A and B are shown apart, each in its own frame.
Chain A
């Protein structure tokens, strides 16, 4: 180690460096100085060389000119040769020959001729001619012809030439002279090409010092400094070079050379600065480089110096550091062992001694393994040696033994130590006694383990938070419920990161007092919602965590899910409340059935107080209505299923029997063993009564207490089943009262109802025990007669029924009498029939009975019905007929009887059946009546009718057409819309062209809807007519609400009006009604002239019927309309006055009497009409009202007489018939008719009289 004299060494470096730098600078300066001299020498030499080369070129060029001059002077061949000589001689302007007085005699340029050349200015200057070239002075101008002496005229001419003169001694004697104008520009161009821009300058001087050329571009041609030292020098030496200082103090290198032949000196001058320019550049570069290098050297030395100083300081610090380390090792609280490479101890520190109990002297030279307790795994040692053997540091624990034999733990760090050469020299071990720490750690680990176990297993929410309110740890339950897989995931999180924002805010707020005031939060109950959104409750306690000085450093909280607890409590409360407040009686018994508790409702229902029944058996309630088997079954259910439910009749404390609906459930304990029975019951006595009443209402007619339609169906089915079983017959009698409406209308509904009650009772009595009498409604009844051995057995019963009804009934002051029409159907029949069919058959038969004259029964003829039904076609066949276009429309005209005007036509559908010919609607419409096909067909009819309407219009017939609309079609929701679309397909239609006819019954089924439809159709220009008017039950109210425009009187009334006063009355009433409601009225079924007459008399002018025209194909209508004329008899018939109406009725009465007589004569009626002329109705009228009104008339007496004749004739015929001459009597009917018609004519005469 250079321990001493570092300072002397340290300062010697800069000195050395300085010396080197100075030396290098001096050497460089010397070299540059030498280089400068060398550069100058070289430039001078090259200038001299250039001067020599240029002088050579000059001399050669002038020699060439000289030779040319010699040649031309000698040959003297004239101008042509002169011109030719100029070829390829760019240094020549012209060549001329001189003659006497040196005037130009021939020249390459004719303009030179005659010019005199002055020899005075030429060098060498000799007085005599010699054979030598001479150089003239520089001449300004292009050639001799415009020449002037440059030195005199223009020292710097723009254009100049140099004359060269040659005298030649001719062979024959005498001198010839030629002169050339030398093109100085040629030389200047040449020099410019060889010198380069701005470097050297060439001067051409004559020996006399006259400047001729100057290559310096900026100067004049012949300008050369006058004081040039060249002239002096050339006198001593023909060529040379020197350095001179010129004008302006500028030095330049000058080389000169005199021509070998001509008196010319060529001077080349080079500016010294320019000559040295290259050297200067190089010197600058060199100096810069050297300076940079030297500076770098100087800097490196400086850096090295500083480095040395730093190393010195570091070494001193190292020494101090070593001393410190030594002290540290000695005083170290850890054991330090240093071994040699073999592992033998070389050093131990005092701590080692104190820990192990061994003195240093005892251990030096030993291997440390003597400390081993044997508990440390050998694997650890092996690994240790591997690690430090590789040069690594090993750290690990040893379990060692002290000198006193006690064990202790050490944490050891072992490292190999290498010298600078990288050789292993020591191992160093640093060991710490960690026995106590290990023990403490083990205790802590146990605590921690238990705590974690607690956190992970407790069901409570337990959590510790730090002062920043972040979770330190918490129970797994809390972690799970907040969506964390492990409680460790919660560590460091804040409430805001864990809970929903609003929840977290609550926690933060409630924790504020804990953190800031140290106040615990106790027994707080919070709601919460789990993942499924179910509400729950937690009970929370939180306490502050305090440090040693009582500062709050966190908190500790426990929350417990008390949802179930709370729910259980609530359930208990609820159960208690239910028990107490239940409207149902509740009774709890033990397994033996002893009553444990009952509620208030029990007391209310049974009348027994709680105290009365506790400990007693519920059988005290028993009414005795249920037998032992009932209770056996009940107990069996309870034991087997734990449940029983049923109705029980029990007895109240008051002794009253009541019904209760009871449910008994077994209450089981945790293991499923029944412990209690709970009975819930409610008093259903009232309900049972109500149920009975409802049943009554459901099955019995409220008014008559007879079974209603429902019960009837039931009984009928039972009866039918029974009849089949017993092989007996059953009869269904459909009974409709005749004239009951009149009672209702005449005496009011109450009276009608009372009559029904009375009749019902009588009819009931007329039947046997097993028979059923039911009321269908109104005045319709059905009797089911059972146990008939023969169909004839029913006749006495039916007769009794008729009698029961026909019997006069006394109601208060009134004596009412009605009759019944009964239709009968029998069961079983040849074909299988059901109950409904039976009823329909009976109904149908009832109508037959009505038609047959009422107050009678009619038995349904199944055979006839079958034949009618057989004609009906199947639905499918009808559909196919539609598709095949087999349906056609026929039209029946409607006319005004009086005016003869055709007022319309009714469309009537016909089926052109391929096999059966033209079929009327009766054979197919009933089949599709309730089928959607009916709508389809109905719409086809409308469409077809509208098409025909269009065709008639084309044919000139403009009449409205009316179409029948079925109930189904009319009740369609979109009837109007569909109608509109049908109409829009026929744009030619006008308002009122189409009229729809609906039958009264279908219109009445849904009055509101139909009214609306009619109103809507009005807006479409479609009117309505009520068809078959009079057959239904329409009241005046209905008619008022149906905005139909026309009423069609059913043809049955029209057909019989002449013979049936009832029908005439109806007809008269209908016409009056139509007038009252301002509805048009039209009569159907006009078949004869008399029909027409009667209608006209009644005030009905519109009519249709076979008497006018049968339905006809559409094409036939226009022709028919054009040709039809009404019966002349109708023309002048006015409606009769109200007063004369009775006359009309009287006529009809008479006709009716004739009919009755005929019927009797034919044997179709049991009794003849009254044969006394005063006993018949017409007779009554004649005697009464007729006589009073018409007695004054002259025609009246003949009428009386005629009536008398008729009765006489009738009596005669009757007698004849009774005496066996029926045939004869019948043959004389025409006679009777003749008399009748005569009477009628007379009666009409009365009317005519009246008209007058």
Chain B
């Protein structure tokens, strides 16, 4: 893709418009046609996202609401499905560099991402939760988090990183970039808590015996979750939105949400 620095004088959005215009001619057909022509849709997922797109290490099978919906999307399109491993850190690149046609792993809609990507209508909305160890004496309540000496871990590239960077006043923020990095930091005691969302916090509580949930006493920072596509292809985006609407109407979406016990964060219509 084009590096933004080359066109700095132009506003990004205009640039994308221009690009869309210029590229539309030679390509002559959008991503939808490409997908249909290829007979395959490539879906970016983050395989660590429990309940959303989680690859069970014991079976290497993906499961989660967005995995199910990706399957439904492929079926609606009448094409094959290929999952492409991604993460929040790599998300934008993966989409913009055409490594996948769509990212489906409950991507929090943040202003930063909106600058680069185009989102579907959100289907989930989650607040931020903290996970600490059962034996941690320092962290008992949410208020204990933003205190001097407390180390708060967040995964790099997640929506939590900018949120916590902005919100934390006294505590120290630790940004981890390795897989399971933040939970290892907390379990090993190098950090006191790590910040995550509803699906991930549930995974921690269900799969480890050391994790302890610290929930915000009132709404802390709601983030709508959606799927993302590269911008500039209305046809593709429209098709995905149409699918989403259809799934919403015919109940496939809510069935998938319920199956993965995510109904507490299902987005209202």
Contact = CB atoms under 8 A, between A and B. Distances in A.
Interface of A: 86-94, 109, 142-143, 158-159, 161, 183, 185-186, 188-190, 192-193
B188 A91 contact: yes
Nearest to B136: A185
B171 to A, nearest CB: 13
Contact of B209 (A89, A183, A188, A189): A189
B138 A90 contact: no
Interface string B120-137: 000000000000011111
Contact of B134 (A91, A183, A192): A192
Contact of A87 (B135, B184, B210): B184
A158 B132 CA distance: 14
B184 A86 contact: yes
Contacts of B188: 86, 89-93, 183, 186
Contacts of A109: 190
B134 A94 contact: no
Contacts of B190: 93-94, 109, 142-143
Contacts of A92: 188
Nearest to A92: B188
Contacts of A143: 190
A913 to B, nearest CB: 96
A189 B184 contact: no
Q: List 3 A-B pairs, minimum CB-CB distance, nearest first.
A: A188-B135, A90-B187, A189-B210
A210 B63 CA distance: 50
Interface string B183-204: 0100111100000000000000
B210 A193 contact: yes
A186 B190 CA distance: 11
A159 to B, nearest CB: 6
A159 B135 contact: no
Contact of B138 (A87, A159, A161): A159
B213 to A, nearest CB: 15
Given A142-B189, A142-B190, A88 B136 contact: no
Contacts of A161: 189
A189 B133 contact: yes
Interface residues of B, number: 16
B189 A186 contact: yes
B189 A185 contact: yes
30 contacts: A86-B184, A87-B178, A88-B184, A89-B188, A90-B187, A90-B210, A91-B188, A92-B188, A93-B188, A94-B190, A143-B190, A158-B138, A159-B137, A159-B149, A159-B189, A183-B188, A183-B189, A185-B135, A185-B136, A185-B189, A186-B188, A186-B189, A188-B135, A189-B133, A189-B134, A189-B135, A192-B134, A193-B134, A193-B209, A193-B210
Interface string B129-153: 0000111111000000000010100
Contacts of A183: 187-189
Nearest to A161: B189
Given A158-B138, A186-B188, 18 more contacts: A88-B184, A91-B188, A93-B188, A93-B189, A142-B189, A142-B190, A158-B137, A159-B137, A159-B138, A161-B189, A183-B188, A183-B189, A185-B133, A185-B189, A186-B189, A188-B135, A190-B210, A193-B134
A217 to B, nearest CB: 9
A88 B184 CA distance: 7
A1229 to B, nearest CB: 133
A1188 B64 CA distance: 161
B221 to A, nearest CB: 27
Contacts of B137: 158-159
Nearest to B209: A193
A573 B133 CA distance: 135
Contacts of B133: 185, 189
Interface in B204-229: 209-210
Nearest to B187: A90
A1148 to B, nearest CB: 127
Contacts of B134: 189, 192-193
A158 B187 CA distance: 15
Residue from A90, A92, A93, A188 with most neighbouring chain B CB atoms (10 Å): A90
B139 to A, nearest CB: 10
A518 B254 CA distance: 104
A91 B149 CA distance: 20
Contact of A90 (B149, B151, B184): B184
Interface string B10-49: 0000000000000000000000000000000000000000
B184 A186 contact: no
Interface string B145-168: 000010100000000000000000
Contacts of B149: 159
Nearest to B179: A87
Contacts of A158: 137-138
Contacts of B138: 158-159
B89 to A, nearest CB: 18
Nearest to B190: A93
Contacts of A186: 187-189, 210
Residue from B133, B138, B151, B178 with most neighbouring chain A CB atoms (10 Å): B133
A386 B26 CA distance: 123
Nearest to A213: B135
Nearest to A87: B184
B172 to A, nearest CB: 10
A196 to B, nearest CB: 12
B141 to A, nearest CB: 14
A94 B190 CA distance: 8
B56 to A, nearest CB: 18
B2 to A, nearest CB: 35
A907 to B, nearest CB: 94
A510 to B, nearest CB: 96
Contacts of A89: 188
A183 B136 CA distance: 11
Residue from B135, B187, B188, B189 with most neighbouring chain A CB atoms (10 Å): B189
Contacts of A192: 134-135
Residue from A185, A188, A190 with most neighbouring chain B CB atoms (10 Å): A185
Contacts of B189: 93, 142, 159, 161, 183, 185-186
Nearest to B138: A158
Nearest to B211: A189
Interface in B35-72: none
A996 B226 CA distance: 109
A439 B138 CA distance: 119
A89 B188 CA distance: 7
A63 B210 CA distance: 22
Nearest to B212: A189
Contacts of A86: 184, 188
Contacts of A185: 133, 135-136, 189
A185 B138 CA distance: 12
A184 to B, nearest CB: 8
A725 B178 CA distance: 163
Residue from B135, B138, B178 with most neighbouring chain A CB atoms (10 Å): B135
A109 B172 CA distance: 15
A94 B184 CA distance: 12
A912 B135 CA distance: 137
Nearest to A108: B190
Contacts of A94: 190
Residue from A183, A189, A192 with most neighbouring chain B CB atoms (10 Å): A189
Nearest to A156: B137
Nearest to B139: A158
A89 B178 CA distance: 14
Nearest to A220: B137
A91 B210 CA distance: 12
A371 B187 CA distance: 119
Nearest to B186: A90
A1162 B149 CA distance: 176
A587 to B, nearest CB: 124
A86 B188 CA distance: 9
A142 B133 CA distance: 14
A193 B208 CA distance: 10
B159 to A, nearest CB: 25
Nearest to A157: B137
